[in-house]
Amino acid sequence: MKRAIILLALQLSAFWPVWRWYVARMTDSTDERWSLLALATVTLFSLYGRAAVQEKNKRGASEVKATLFPPTLALLTYCAAYAVLPPLARAGLAATALGLTLSALCFGRRLHTGMLGLIYLSLPLIPTLQFYGGYPLRVLVAAAASPLIRLGGFAVLQEGACLNWNGQLIWIDAPCSGVRMLWTGMYLACTLACLYGLRCLKTLLVLALALPAIILGNIFRAVTLFYLEAGIIEMPGWAHDGAGVFAFLIVAGVILAAVRMMRRERVCGELLAT
């Protein structure tokens, strides 16, 4: 694994413009600091995984060399395309290279999908996602929530990112766009995938199940908040935030159930094989 350590050191040196950009972004917005949680999680899993790998037999030199080819290619691509790529794209390439290297060094895998996902989430992306994806997500949520509310007997019409009821416009504002829930849900899915030791395909399946669960959870929150904001149901002020927390707890339960189901399938398969 000496080659993996050397490659990691080269990457950490070559990516110094990314680290400078990273620190600058962290000082721009408090939302960016959530990325530090993902970064700390990456560090903890890397240390734990490295310790576990050291207890196993060392892998053959040819196998390690083959494993390190993708991160080496990612590093060379970063260097070749540095001048033409925007900072965020450079950071994405750097995250890919580091994720592949840590997969080999700390987990003995060609690709640890959960770890790579956490590295992507450690990038300061939330304000960027809010800027580009916040409004389309709010429109999507409003379009899905309005027919559900009409089923309850309320003549609600969608108007962009608003719900129109009796001439009263109820906004689905930026905090309710679902970007933060999307980030948090993906973080939870990747963290659980690492904790349960899921392989690449099963981690991807968990993420594929988590995405619609997050969207549905956000729609549920929008429907609930309609009744609160329209004054149909009288609730104290904390009910607005409480509805968001409750919606996320449902989403978290779905993600946990998906991870445990994937883990149980793997264990049952191993028992049947033996």
Q: Is 271 left (phi over 0), alpha (psi -120 to 50) or beta?
A: alpha
Residue 116 has pLDDT above 90, yes or no: yes
**Reported confidence tier of residue 270, pLDDT bands at 50, 70, 90:** very low
**Reported confidence tier of residue 222, pLDDT bands at 50, 70, 90:** confident
pLDDT of residue 110: 85
Q: Summarize pLDDT for 235-269 with one digit per residue, the tens.
A: 776 777 788 888 899 999 999 999 998 886 544 34
pLDDT of residue 175: 64
pLDDT of residue 1: 66
Give the H or E element holding residue 251. Answer: helix 239-273
Q: Mean pLDDT in the chain?
A: 83
Q: Summarize pLDDT for 126-139 with one digit per residue, the tens.
A: 888 888 888 888 88
Q: How far apart are CA 167 and CA 163, in angstroms?
A: 9
pLDDT of residue 177: 65
Average pLDDT over residues 201-216: 93
Average pLDDT over residues 4-30: 87
Task: Please list, residue by residue across 3-25, b when 16 or more beta carbons sit within 10 angstroms of its beta carbon and e when fewer do.
Answer: ebeebbeebeebbeebeebbeeb
For the chain, give me the number of helices (H) and strands (E)? Answer: 11, 3
